Amino acid sequence: MGKKRIIQQTEEELLKEKEKVEVRANKGIKEPLKAIKEGKIYILSSYNNTIISLTDLQGNVLGWMSAGSVGFKGTKKATPFAASKVAEAIVQVAKRFGIEKIKVLVKGIGSGRDSAIRLLATRGLNIVSVRDITPIPHNGCRPPKVRRV
């Protein structure tokens, strides 16, 4: 095993990466009819992917992003880093619509939940509430019949 080296990215590479995220964030999104002040952000975090949807208060989807649509493939889609990049892209979409206040609804048990919420808070969106809407079984499945030998 050789010595591990840390690769430092130059400013040009960082700008190219940010530009790439912006292009993907703007792809396939409708132009806003009017500025919306409040909205909801749904974060679905599974073991394989992180999907973030931006809706208005009635639940009409304004835009969505997933780790796959941002450019991650395979097992990298389930990482917290990928979730933060997805959240960064959704923040750009929210700013485009003029959304300032958001309610966050989190579903699933993946590793990208916390990093996505943290990034939403640090990027200037005013988080009103955070709710966990993960489905929980109350009594589970019916057990199988007793085996008769």
Using one digit for the tens of pLDDT, what is the confidence trace for 65-100?
A: 999 999 999 999 999 999 999 999 999 999 999 999
Strand 50-55 and strand 38-45: pairing? antiparallel
- CATH pick for 20-132 out of 3.30.420.80, 1.10.150.570, 3.40.50.12780, 3.40.50.20: 3.30.420.80
The answer on pLDDT for 119 being more than 90 is: yes
Sign of CA dihedral 41, 69, 51, 72: negative
Please say if the pLDDT value at position 25 is more than 80: no
Element (H, E) at 89: helix 80-97
CB 102 within 8 A of CB 116: no
- pLDDT the model gives residue 27: 63
Residue 100 DSSP class:
-
Helix (H) or strand (E) holding 61: strand 61-66
Higher pLDDT, 149 or 64: 64
Domain boundaries, the chain: 20-132
